[in-house]
Structures are given as C-alpha cells and as structure tokens.
Copies of this chain bind each other. A is one copy, B any other.
C-alpha cells in the first residue's frame, strides 16, 4: 500500500506528487495518521524559494489535522494524558526538541534546541519512513510528538485556519507580555497578524490598531476585533495615521510586527510611545540587514522582544483558545481556498500571492 505525497525536490520548481510506502508496522511510540487537512503556511513559500536551509526532497506541510490510523506500542495517551485510539481526530506540535542540549537544558530556550526537527521542514523524504510532511495522504508521527486529541466541538477548519500562526503569536506574546489596557498596534494582517489580534484581545488590549493590506485582509482583521485598520497602500503618511489613532498621539504601548519585511521593524519603532514594548514576530526569513536607528531604542527606552516557534504548551493554549472563543475569532472562516493534493502548486500560489485567507489541502 502506498500514500501519495507532494514533494519539494528543487527550489523554485513545481512541487511533485510522489508515492511512498505506507508503513505496515510502526515503531514503538509512533503514530500513523490519515491527513484530513493540511494548511499552506507562508513559511512554505519561503521554503519553496530556498530561503531556509532544508534537506531536499521534503514533503511540505506543518499545519495538519488528521485521524489516527494506527498507534505504535506504548503510545496510549495524548500530550495532556487523554487516551488515544484509532479513529481519533488529532493535531500535533510540528516540532520535536532533544531535551538535552545547551538550549533545552541550561538556558531553557527549547525552541532554539540545537537538534530541533519539524514536520514538513526538516525531514528528507528519501529516508524512511518518508511520510513526515502534511501535504500527503498519511503522515507518520515520531515518538515524542506532542499529539492533541481534538474535541468534537472544535472544527478542523478552525485548527488549520489558526495554524502555526496562532501558536507562534501565543509564544511571542508570552515572552513580551501584554498588560490589560494596553494600546496595541499589529503590523500586518496575514495569518500571524490575525492571530496576534486575537491574542492581544484575549490579553486585555484596550485598543488594537492594525496596519496592512490588501483590503480583504484588513476587513478580516476588523472581524477579529481590530478597532482601527489602516490600509498601508492607501495612506500617504501611515506613521501619522497610526499615531493619531493612539491616545494623545504619543504612540502605542505595544507594537507587534507580523509582516516579515525587514523594513517593518524600523517602521514599528516609530509607532512606539516612549517606554513601549515591541515584538518582532515576523522575521522568520533572513533577508539581511535593514536601516534601523538605534538611538530610538535608547531615547525612547524601548523593550524589543523576538520569539521563534513555539512549544507544545502553546499549541495546547491555542486549542483551548479556539474552543473557548470560536465565536469571537472566526479562524475557521479564514479557510477560503481548498485544494486536492494534485492542486498543491496552485495552492501554494494562492498563498504566495496573498489571494486567499488561508489555503488548505484536503487529500481526499
């Protein structure tokens, strides 16, 4: 028996559909999962463009929901201790850390584990068991994967629609801290920006101002609770527009950069009031240096925080948030475009061109 999977085998080249053997037996602690839905993340575009060092070929897809087809010996419970059984619908943290290196042990920065590996990113598809990405009919989860059984009340669309963006935003806000009452500027209204709006609102932000484009994404940002939405394409002086939207015109208490272009960081510093905090959340690709004025950091006595990835507990927090506040943050509705495995290139393209809210692959 084989599973179909979509493989990135050369940067900038079309993804290819391949067949890999579906494992008949599992190692202890492994799980075989039938993929129900796999999200297309902006990072997948970066990977396709060769902007991060990864092994090729790779089966893309790190935001996935599926149903358990088989459980390896000893794998009986999910990450928080609930029993697992064949047929259960599950999600999982897409990365695994070693727990033993300098960053895992001594400095408690597990997201910077020296041996961190992520489904859909770090596993060469040539090596058995091959199926370590979400753009596929099946995925094999390694021992130690943080698996979460999904409650019936939580839709697959909501989980994939929130995707790793929500996990990442939760981690970032945890590191920076938001005080209730803070006036928050969110730069960017893609999936990370929407997630940041949701987390900022949950954490008690009194006012959320989002900057971004295009128009359909800004509209969605308003649905997620943004109090003001500034179209960066249509606003001649957006610095003035942002400041005017803050109390007294002094600037925001908190700025969350969710754009990805280096220049957004320099711009974000201008949105900060003196003594503000800023979270640089979107700079996953290394696009090199950009002009930034460090005098602003000293004079405005800013706090700037970076955050990378997430831990399993952030995935748990995300799932709890989705369940608790489904009506408040319409993540499920962000899934606007669905594709089959055969249409994977088309799917990637919609994400690359910011056409969709969230594009997903539904293998069957």
Contacts and interface: CB of A to CB of B under 8 A. Distances in A.
Interface in A190-242: 199, 202-204, 206
Nearest to A286: B295
Residue among A101, A296, A308 with the highest chain B CB neighbour number at 10 A: A308
A4 interface: no
Interface of A: 79-81, 99-103, 105-109, 111-112, 173-175, 178-181, 199, 202-204, 206, 248, 250, 253, 262, 265-266, 273-275, 280-308, 312-313, 316-317, 320-321, 324
Given A299-B306, A303-B304, A294 B265 contact: yes
Given A206-B320, A265-B297, A301-B306, A80 B109 contact: no
Q: Which of A99, A105, A300, A321 has the most CB of B within 10 A?
A: A105
A283 B296 CA distance: 8
A132 to B, nearest CB: 23
Query: Which DSSP category, helix, strand, loop or mixed, fits chain A's interface?
Result: mixed
Contacts of A253: 107
Given A173-B180, A265-B294, 9 more contacts: A99-B99, A108-B275, A112-B274, A181-B320, A262-B293, A284-B299, A297-B306, A299-B308, A300-B308
A338 to B, nearest CB: 31
Nearest to A293: B289
A294 B290 contact: yes
Closest 4 CB pairs of A and B: A289-B291, A297-B306, A283-B298, A109-B275
A305 B306 contact: no
6 contacts: A103-B275, A105-B312, A105-B313, A262-B293, A291-B292, A303-B304
